[in-house]
Amino acid sequence: MNYHNITYPDQNNGDGLRIVLWVAGCEHHCTNCQNQQTWSPQSGIPFDKNAMNEILNELKKDYISGITFSGGDPLHPKNVQNVLKIVDEIRVSYPTKNIWLYTGYTWEQIMHPVITDINSEQLKMLQMRKELVSKCNVLIDGRYVDELRDISLHWRGSSNQRVINVQETLKQKQIVLWES
Protein backbone atom coordinates (compact mmCIF):
# COMPACT_ATOMS: atom_id res chain seq x y z
CA MET A 1 0.00 0.00 0.00
CA ASN A 2 1.19 3.50 -0.78
CA TYR A 3 0.23 6.72 0.96
CA HIS A 4 0.64 10.42 0.31
CA ASN A 5 0.76 11.93 3.75
CA ILE A 6 0.14 11.57 7.46
CA THR A 7 -1.25 14.81 8.86
CA TYR A 8 -1.76 15.85 12.49
CA PRO A 9 -3.24 17.43 14.39
CA ASP A 10 -6.13 17.68 11.93
CA GLN A 11 -9.54 19.09 12.84
CA ASN A 12 -11.20 19.03 9.41
CA ASN A 13 -11.55 15.29 8.83
CA GLY A 14 -13.51 14.11 11.83
CA ASP A 15 -14.50 15.09 15.33
CA GLY A 16 -11.72 16.41 17.58
CA LEU A 17 -8.03 16.60 16.81
CA ARG A 18 -6.95 13.65 14.70
CA ILE A 19 -4.32 11.94 12.67
CA VAL A 20 -5.19 11.48 9.00
CA LEU A 21 -3.62 8.82 6.80
CA TRP A 22 -4.00 9.80 3.13
CA VAL A 23 -3.74 6.56 1.14
CA ALA A 24 -3.05 6.19 -2.59
CA GLY A 25 -5.53 4.47 -4.89
CA CYS A 26 -9.10 5.29 -5.86
CA GLU A 27 -11.33 3.76 -8.51
CA HIS A 28 -14.17 6.29 -8.17
CA HIS A 29 -12.56 9.25 -9.98
CA CYS A 30 -15.21 11.74 -8.87
CA THR A 31 -15.53 14.89 -10.96
CA ASN A 32 -13.64 17.77 -9.28
CA CYS A 33 -12.21 15.50 -6.60
CA GLN A 34 -10.01 17.49 -4.22
CA ASN A 35 -7.40 14.70 -4.15
CA GLN A 36 -6.95 13.58 -7.76
CA GLN A 37 -3.23 13.11 -7.09
CA THR A 38 -4.16 10.11 -4.90
CA TRP A 39 -6.07 8.17 -7.58
CA SER A 40 -3.18 5.98 -8.73
CA PRO A 41 -2.29 3.22 -6.26
CA GLN A 42 1.33 3.57 -7.47
CA SER A 43 1.49 7.24 -6.44
CA GLY A 44 2.87 8.35 -3.11
CA ILE A 45 5.33 6.32 -1.06
CA PRO A 46 5.20 2.81 0.41
CA PHE A 47 3.60 2.53 3.83
CA ASP A 48 6.27 1.05 6.09
CA LYS A 49 7.15 0.43 9.73
CA ASN A 50 8.31 4.04 10.15
CA ALA A 51 4.93 5.34 8.97
CA MET A 52 3.15 2.96 11.34
CA ASN A 53 5.37 4.07 14.22
CA GLU A 54 4.63 7.71 13.41
CA ILE A 55 0.89 7.01 13.65
CA LEU A 56 1.22 5.05 16.90
CA ASN A 57 3.44 7.73 18.47
CA GLU A 58 0.96 10.47 17.64
CA LEU A 59 -1.96 8.41 18.95
CA LYS A 60 -0.20 8.33 22.36
CA LYS A 61 -1.03 11.99 22.84
CA ASP A 62 -4.07 12.56 25.05
CA TYR A 63 -5.41 15.38 22.89
CA ILE A 64 -5.56 13.20 19.76
CA SER A 65 -9.09 11.77 19.49
CA GLY A 66 -8.25 9.15 16.90
CA ILE A 67 -7.37 8.48 13.30
CA THR A 68 -9.10 9.13 9.99
CA PHE A 69 -8.39 7.11 6.85
CA SER A 70 -8.86 9.07 3.65
CA GLY A 71 -7.18 9.40 0.33
CA GLY A 72 -7.68 8.02 -2.34
CA ASP A 73 -9.94 5.34 -0.95
CA PRO A 74 -8.95 3.16 2.01
CA LEU A 75 -11.25 0.45 0.61
CA HIS A 76 -9.43 0.34 -2.75
CA PRO A 77 -8.29 -3.27 -3.47
CA LYS A 78 -4.64 -2.24 -3.00
CA ASN A 79 -5.38 -0.72 0.43
CA VAL A 80 -8.01 -2.66 2.30
CA GLN A 81 -5.82 -5.45 3.67
CA ASN A 82 -3.17 -3.05 4.98
CA VAL A 83 -5.69 -0.59 6.40
CA LEU A 84 -7.37 -3.50 8.19
CA LYS A 85 -4.01 -4.47 9.76
CA ILE A 86 -3.43 -0.86 10.87
CA VAL A 87 -6.92 -0.69 12.40
CA ASP A 88 -6.35 -3.98 14.22
CA GLU A 89 -3.10 -2.69 15.68
CA ILE A 90 -4.72 0.59 16.76
CA ARG A 91 -7.65 -1.25 18.37
CA VAL A 92 -5.16 -3.27 20.47
CA SER A 93 -2.80 -0.41 21.32
CA TYR A 94 -5.35 2.39 21.72
CA PRO A 95 -8.83 0.89 22.22
CA THR A 96 -10.39 4.22 23.27
CA LYS A 97 -9.26 6.15 20.17
CA ASN A 98 -11.95 6.47 17.51
CA ILE A 99 -11.54 5.53 13.87
CA TRP A 100 -13.13 7.37 10.95
CA LEU A 101 -13.00 6.20 7.35
CA TYR A 102 -13.86 7.99 4.11
CA THR A 103 -14.84 5.93 1.09
CA GLY A 104 -16.59 6.37 -2.24
CA TYR A 105 -18.51 3.14 -1.62
CA THR A 106 -21.89 3.30 0.08
CA TRP A 107 -22.77 1.46 3.28
CA GLU A 108 -24.98 -0.82 1.23
CA GLN A 109 -22.21 -1.65 -1.25
CA ILE A 110 -19.88 -2.52 1.61
CA MET A 111 -22.16 -4.31 4.05
CA HIS A 112 -24.72 -5.82 1.65
CA PRO A 113 -23.00 -6.17 -1.74
CA VAL A 114 -24.90 -7.58 -4.67
CA ILE A 115 -22.81 -10.56 -5.71
CA THR A 116 -23.22 -12.13 -9.13
CA ASP A 117 -20.19 -13.57 -10.91
CA ILE A 118 -17.37 -13.34 -8.40
CA ASN A 119 -14.12 -15.20 -7.83
CA SER A 120 -12.63 -16.17 -4.45
CA GLU A 121 -10.19 -13.23 -4.45
CA GLN A 122 -13.02 -10.73 -5.01
CA LEU A 123 -15.10 -12.42 -2.30
CA LYS A 124 -12.19 -12.11 0.14
CA MET A 125 -11.93 -8.40 -0.74
CA LEU A 126 -15.63 -7.85 -0.01
CA GLN A 127 -15.31 -9.68 3.31
CA MET A 128 -12.26 -7.61 4.33
CA ARG A 129 -14.10 -4.37 3.49
CA LYS A 130 -17.01 -5.41 5.67
CA GLU A 131 -14.71 -6.44 8.53
CA LEU A 132 -12.74 -3.21 8.30
CA VAL A 133 -15.80 -0.96 8.33
CA SER A 134 -17.26 -2.95 11.25
CA LYS A 135 -14.20 -1.97 13.32
CA CYS A 136 -14.62 1.76 12.65
CA ASN A 137 -16.61 4.29 14.64
CA VAL A 138 -17.64 6.52 11.74
CA LEU A 139 -17.96 5.94 8.01
CA ILE A 140 -18.34 8.78 5.54
CA ASP A 141 -19.79 6.95 2.58
CA GLY A 142 -20.55 7.66 -1.04
CA ARG A 143 -18.83 9.29 -3.95
CA TYR A 144 -18.35 13.02 -4.04
CA VAL A 145 -20.96 14.43 -6.46
CA ASP A 146 -19.98 17.87 -7.69
CA GLU A 147 -23.58 18.88 -8.47
CA LEU A 148 -24.45 18.20 -4.80
CA ARG A 149 -21.48 20.10 -3.37
CA ASP A 150 -22.36 21.84 -0.12
CA ILE A 151 -19.63 23.62 1.85
CA SER A 152 -21.94 24.01 4.88
CA LEU A 153 -21.85 20.27 5.63
CA HIS A 154 -19.60 18.90 8.35
CA TRP A 155 -16.97 16.35 7.28
CA ARG A 156 -18.29 15.75 3.75
CA GLY A 157 -18.28 17.50 0.42
CA SER A 158 -21.63 16.66 -1.12
CA SER A 159 -25.11 16.13 0.28
CA ASN A 160 -25.40 12.52 -0.90
CA GLN A 161 -22.61 11.48 1.43
CA ARG A 162 -23.53 10.25 4.89
CA VAL A 163 -21.66 10.45 8.19
CA ILE A 164 -22.64 7.08 9.66
CA ASN A 165 -22.27 5.99 13.28
CA VAL A 166 -21.03 2.49 12.46
CA GLN A 167 -21.44 0.83 15.85
CA GLU A 168 -24.99 2.12 16.39
CA THR A 169 -25.90 1.22 12.81
CA LEU A 170 -24.69 -2.34 13.39
CA LYS A 171 -26.60 -2.58 16.69
CA GLN A 172 -29.86 -1.12 15.38
CA LYS A 173 -29.59 -2.76 11.92
CA GLN A 174 -30.48 0.53 10.28
CA ILE A 175 -28.47 3.59 9.29
CA VAL A 176 -27.79 5.84 12.29
CA LEU A 177 -26.11 9.13 11.46
CA TRP A 178 -23.27 10.49 13.59
CA GLU A 179 -24.29 13.19 16.03
CA SER A 180 -21.49 15.64 16.73
Whole-angstrom Cα distance, residue 2 to residue 100? Answer: 19
* Residue 36: predicted pLDDT: 86
Indicate whether 139 belongs to any domain. yes
Reported in sequence order, the residue ranges of the chain that DSSP labels E, i.e. its strands, are 2-10, 17-23, 45-46, 64-71, 98-102, 138-141, 162-165
**Which residue range is the domain that position 133 belongs to?**
2-172
Pick the residue with more confidence: 66 or 116? 66
Question: pLDDT tens-digit profile of 14-37?
Answer: 999 999 999 999 999 898 888 889
- Please name which of 44, 32, 116 lies closest in space to residue 76, comparing C-alpha atoms: 44
Question: Among residues of the chain, what percentage have pLDDT more than 70?
Answer: 99
- Kindly tell me if the per-residue pLDDT of 180 is higher than 80: no
* Residue 65: predicted pLDDT: 97
pTM score, two decimals? 0.95
Indicate whether 53 belongs to any domain. yes
* Residue 179: predicted pLDDT: 83
Indicate whether 133 belongs to any domain. yes
Indicate whether 180 belongs to any domain. no
CATH code, domain with 162: 3.20.20.70
* Residue 164: predicted pLDDT: 98
- Kindly tell me if the per-residue pLDDT of 118 is higher than 90: no
* Chain mean pLDDT for the chain: 95
* Residue 87: predicted pLDDT: 98
Kindly tell me the burial class for residue 76, based on how many C-beta atoms sit within 10 Å of its own C-beta (0-12, 13-18, 19 or more).
buried
* Residue 34: predicted pLDDT: 86
Q: How many domains does the chain have?
A: 1
- Please name which of 42, 30, 61 lies closest in space to residue 3, comparing C-alpha atoms: 42
Q: How many CB atoms lie within 10 A of CB 103?
A: 30
* Residue 157: predicted pLDDT: 93
Question: pLDDT tens-digit profile of 147-167?
Answer: 999 999 999 999 999 999 999
- Please name which of 19, 31, 116, 14 lies closest in space to residue 58, comparing C-alpha atoms: 19
Residues 124-163: b if buried by 16+ CB within 10 A, e if exposed = ebbebbeebbeebbbbbbbbbeeeeeeeeeebbbbeebbb
Question: Among residues of the chain, what percentage have pLDDT more than 90?
Answer: 87
Indicate whether 178 belongs to any domain. no
